[in-house]
Amino acid sequence: MFSRKSKRNDSSTVTAEPRPELAASDRLVDDGKLFEAIDFLTAANRAERSLDVELRLLHIRHLAGISLLEDPPIDPRHPDPAAAVPARGSQSRVPEITPAELTAPTLRAAILANGCLLVRGLMDPGKAERFAADIDRAFEIRRALSEGESDPEGFYDELQPEPPWLIGERSWIEEGGGVLAVDSPRLMFAMLESFEGAGLRSVIEEYLGERPAISSQKCTLRKATPDVAGAWHQDGKFLGEVRALNVWLSLSRCGDVAPSMDVVPRRLDDFVATGTEGTFLDFQVSQAVAEEAAGDGGIVRPIFEPGDALLFDDVFLHQTGSDPSMPNPRYAIESWFFGPSAYPENYVPIAF
């Protein structure tokens, strides 16, 4: 049975009485209707938010993610790319569109031409900034819980996956200025609601050719400080053979006053050389190799406003773009979605 490693003490309560929707959702789960249970509890939580419901939703999304991996489609296909590639932004030098223009064929066209697509204003700027403040709160709660304090609001409550699934990267994620989204049930619900409201689920599903699963270890709420150095990489180098899409959502202005992302804005059909002179990890790409891959177009560091999102796949070459002189940290949501037919090994699945 699914459980969570909750650090809330016995005296803390979330609701005075159990939500009746929980029992109803359990019956749906028992009947094998996992996605119906997700929709049911999501609607209930929209009407009245409850940590009990958000915890149960993550439980069921995890079970549904496992079910997707157990019965993936046989021959998923990417959509045919749109005839026209979106115009490059004068500042970003990568294809840019508005949320209303986002479709799977447009996304495919941009990735095949330039490796990525920038969606300006995918999230409302004010909402993005509030989300950034909530990430700080999740960091604070994580520190407090290590001292035995409780969290009745769900900003930090570690996911304990179904056996034999394991999450073992938490210390590494914390050292990199992050908290796993699945370890913040409150923010995980808010994140998925924002993505759903922006139409991302249907776009990602059409793009991958199958219903996506989120990787628990590759969905991070990030606070990157200016002293964090970048490391060029292509995520597919260590993920293996996957069908993937990353939604990198900025929650604060970055690129000039805070760390952004350095990118090679062109399509790479394969992995570039790794582990060469000037690197420290076997999957890391050197600055010289990145510059060669960028060609005449050069490396770009876009400026993002709160709510802007960059979408790209597993062969996109990028790194954190930082400078110690920058005055502010950068807040972002980094979320990887995978097709269950080619899902990375040992990554804990969560259905979207």
Residue 33 CB contacts under 8 Å (≥ 6 apart), including other chains: none
Exposure b/e, 95-123, CB count within 10 A at least 16 = b: bbbebeebbbbbbbbbbebbbbbbbbbbb
| H helix intervals, the chain | 20-30, 34-47, 51-70, 104-114, 125-145, 170-175, 185-197, 200-208, 236-239, 287-294
Strand ranges for 39-98 from DSSP E = 96-97
**CA–CA gap between residue 328 and residue 21 (Å, rounded):** 43
**CA–CA gap between residue 351 and residue 280 (Å, rounded):** 34
**CA–CA gap between residue 237 and residue 271 (Å, rounded):** 7
Radius of gyration of the CA atoms of the chain, in A: 20
Q: What is the pLDDT along the chain (352 residues), one digit of tens a residue?
A: 444 444 433 333 344 567 889 999 999 999 999 999 999 999 999 999 999 999 999 999 999 999 999 999 999 999 999 999 999 999 899 999 999 999 999 999 999 999 999 999 999 999 999 999 999 999 999 988 876 566 788 999 999 999 999 998 798 899 889 999 999 999 999 999 999 999 999 999 999 999 999 999 999 999 999 998 889 999 999 999 999 999 999 999 999 999 999 999 999 999 999 999 888 888 899 999 999 999 999 999 999 999 999 999 999 999 999 999 999 999 999 999 999 999 999 999 999 9
**CA–CA gap between residue 243 and residue 225 (Å, rounded):** 31
Residue at token pair 């959509």: 79
ω before 164 within 30° of 0 (cis)?
yes
Distances, alpha carbon 113 to alpha carbons 60, 84, 101, 261, 278, in Å: 38, 10, 17, 19, 29
Residue 14 CB contacts under 8 Å (≥ 6 apart), including other chains: 50, 51, 52, 152, 154
**CA–CA gap between residue 163 and residue 43 (Å, rounded):** 29
Give backbone dihedrals phi and psi of 17, rounded to 5 degrees, phi first.
Answer: -130, 145
- CB contact at 8 A, 203 and 157: no
CATH code of domain 18-351: 2.60.120.620
The continuous run of DSSP H or E covering 180 comes out as strand 178-180
Write down the domain spans for the chain.
18-351
pLDDT score, position 8: 39
pLDDT score, position 281: 82
Compute CA 37 distance to the chain's CA centroid, rounded to the nearest angstrom.
23
Give backbone dihedrals phi and psi of 333, rounded to 5 degrees, phi first.
Answer: -110, 125
Closest CA to 274 of 321, 312, 237: 237
- CB contact at 8 A, 117 and 107: yes
Give backbone dihedrals phi and psi of 198, rounded to 5 degrees, phi first.
Answer: -85, 0
Q: Identity (one letter) of the amino acid at 58?
A: L
Residue at token pair 């697509």: 117
